[in-house]
């Protein structure tokens, strides 16, 4: 099994990345503030517009390190990668299957079905831990029907419709799962571009990090993250990464954000309200979020399909590996990740 290495998150907007020998150096206003050997990291995510030197880009390419640029608010800008690696036969098969409407629909149904099931499992866990709730019971009922309908959808338009019904039911009761700091973290449904409240700001931030991790995992396995089976192909859009994120959103993103709030690891003081520009995390908030994110990735679970102990941070890699096996027909079907 692959070893989980660190991802370097650079949250200071004025930071510039450069190379010194085999080290990645972070400088602010031409003064070095941090350095790390390239061998110790598998990815760099930087929030800002100062950029990186060609030298550090080559260092990343030579060591298989992904380099992702986000805006200070966490919006994706670009991702730098070197020469395409991996099995060309695997990618050729992936491209062929992306044009196969029946095969693509089957995989898309599995991913959306898994997403809805994970929504349901999160709500069922709340009932187990805290007792019955009329609103949550109703949402669970809606999700059960939406999952059955999604798995039987005759086309992607119908599938997306059932996914929308499920998401609306789930996010409508999500505020019930906020047990502490309710007044400071109001939530009235999912919104973005820009997020209108702190909960949505954190969800969007988490989803961006998840998509980046999945893109890196797909590249490592040898799949093309830009050619998916559910999301529309579009220049610059990592469609396969977005596809595979569906089954992991609730577990990696939603539960993490709820935990931050309920454990009081983050407070409303770590967000800025900017009127029409929405809500953004402060630098302190980003550091708090990312520190907890890194700790979460090191936690160990038993993968429900492999029945092996893995670090949570390896989930994107494991699912990418299973997708490659399915594309090669080494396994009979794609085993989506389901929360136990």
- Give the residue extent of every domain in the chain: 6-80, 88-327
For the residues 133-138, what does the mean pLDDT come to?
Answer: 94
State the fold for domain 6-80: Ribosomal Protein L15; Chain: K; domain 2 (3.100.10)
Whether 6-80 and 88-327 share one fold: the answer is no
Task: Report pLDDT for 236.
Answer: 74
Neighbours of 81 (CB within 10 A): 18
Share above pLDDT 70 across residues of the chain, in percent, rounded to a whole number: 96
Q: Is the peptide bond before 194 cis (omega within 30 degrees of 0)?
A: yes
pTM: 0.85
Query: Which of 68, 8, 4 is closest to 35 using CA atoms?
Result: 8
Query: Which of 265, 246, 243 is closest to 254 using CA atoms?
Result: 246
CB 139 within 8 A of CB 173: yes
Task: Output the average pLDDT for the chain.
Answer: 90
Element (H, E) at 35: strand 31-37
Tokens representing residue 89 in the block:
């036969």
How far CA 74 is from CA of 60, 106, 194, 210, in Å, comes to: 21, 33, 11, 12
Query: Which of 127, 150, 158 is closest to 140 using CA atoms?
Result: 127
Confidence of residue 85 (pLDDT cuts 50, 70, 90): low
Q: Is the alpha carbon torsion for 187, 189, 195, 196 positive or negative? A: negative
For the residues 164-193, what does the mean pLDDT come to?
Answer: 92
Confidence of residue 5 (pLDDT cuts 50, 70, 90): low
Instruction: Name the one residue in this structure whose structure tokens are 């007792």.
Output: 131
Instruction: Name the one residue in this structure whose structure tokens are 């994107």.
Output: 316
The three-point CA angle 242-229-296 to 5° equals 30
Instruction: Tell me the pLDDT tens digit for each residue of 27-52.
Output: 988 888 888 998 888 788 888 778 88
Entry field: residues in the chain: 340
How far CA 240 is from CA of 94, 215, 250, in Å, comes to: 10, 8, 18
Instruction: Tell me the pLDDT tens digit for each residue of 311-334.
Output: 999 999 999 999 999 999 999 999
For the residues 211-216, what does the mean pLDDT come to?
Answer: 90
Instruction: Tell me the pLDDT tens digit for each residue of 229-250.
Output: 998 878 778 899 999 999 999 9
Q: Is the pLDDT of residue 1 over 60?
A: no
DSSP line for 85-96:
-S-HHHHHHHHH
Confidence of residue 82 (pLDDT cuts 50, 70, 90): low
Highest averaged pLDDT of the listed ranges 87-91, 162-166, 189-193: 162-166
- Rounded to whole angstroms, the Cα distance separating 295 from 327 reads 32
Query: Which of 212, 183, 205, 193 is closest to 281 using CA atoms?
Result: 205
Instruction: Tell me the pLDDT tens digit for each residue of 181-207.
Output: 999 999 998 888 889 999 999 999 999
Share above pLDDT 90 across residues of the chain, in percent, rounded to a whole number: 60
Task: Identify the architecture of domain 88-327 in CATH.
Answer: Up-down Bundle (1.20)
């Amino acid at each position: 099994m692959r070893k989980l290495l660190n991802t370097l998150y650079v949250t200071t907007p004025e930071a510039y990345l450069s190379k010194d020998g085999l080290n990645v150096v972070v400088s602010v206003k031409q003064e070095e503030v941090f350095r790390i050997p390239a061998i110790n990291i598998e990815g760099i995510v930087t929030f800002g517009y100062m950029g990186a030197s060609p030298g550090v880009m080559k260092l990343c390419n030579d060591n298989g390190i992904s380099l992702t640029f986000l805006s200070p608010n966490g919006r994706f800008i670009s991702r730098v990668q070197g020469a395409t690696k991996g099995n060309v036969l695997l990618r050729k098969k992936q491209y062929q299957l992306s044009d196969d409407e029946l095969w693509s629909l089957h995989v898309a149904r599995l991913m959306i079905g898994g997403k809805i099931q994970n929504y349901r499992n999160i709500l069922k866990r709340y009932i187990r831990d805290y007792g019955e709730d009329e609103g949550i019971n109703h949402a669970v009922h809606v999700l059960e029907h939406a999952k059955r309908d999604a798995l039987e959808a005759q086309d992607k338009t119908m599938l997306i419709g059932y996914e929308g019904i499920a998401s609306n039911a789930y996010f409508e009761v999500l505020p019930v799962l906020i047990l502490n700091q309710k007044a400071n973290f109001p939530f009235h449904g999912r919104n973005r571009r820009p997020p209108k409240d702190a909960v949505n700001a954190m969800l969007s931030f988490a989803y961006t990090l998840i998509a980046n991790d999945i893109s890196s995992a797909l590249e490592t396995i040898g799949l093309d993250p830009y050619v998916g089976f559910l999301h529309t192909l579009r220049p610059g859009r990592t469609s396969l990464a977005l596809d595979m994120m569906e089954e992991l959103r609730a577990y990696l993103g939603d539960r993490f954000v709820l935990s931050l709030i309920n454990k009081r690891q983050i407070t409303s003081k770590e967000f800025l309200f900017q009127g029409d520009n929405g809500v953004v995390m402060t630098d302190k908030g980003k550091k708090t979020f990312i520190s907890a994110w890194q700790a979460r990735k090191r936690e160990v679970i038993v993968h429900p399909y492999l029945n092996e102990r893995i670090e949570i941070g390896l989930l994107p890699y494991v699912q990418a590996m299973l997708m490659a096996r399915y594309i090669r027909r080494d396994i009979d079907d794609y085993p989506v990740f389901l929360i136990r």
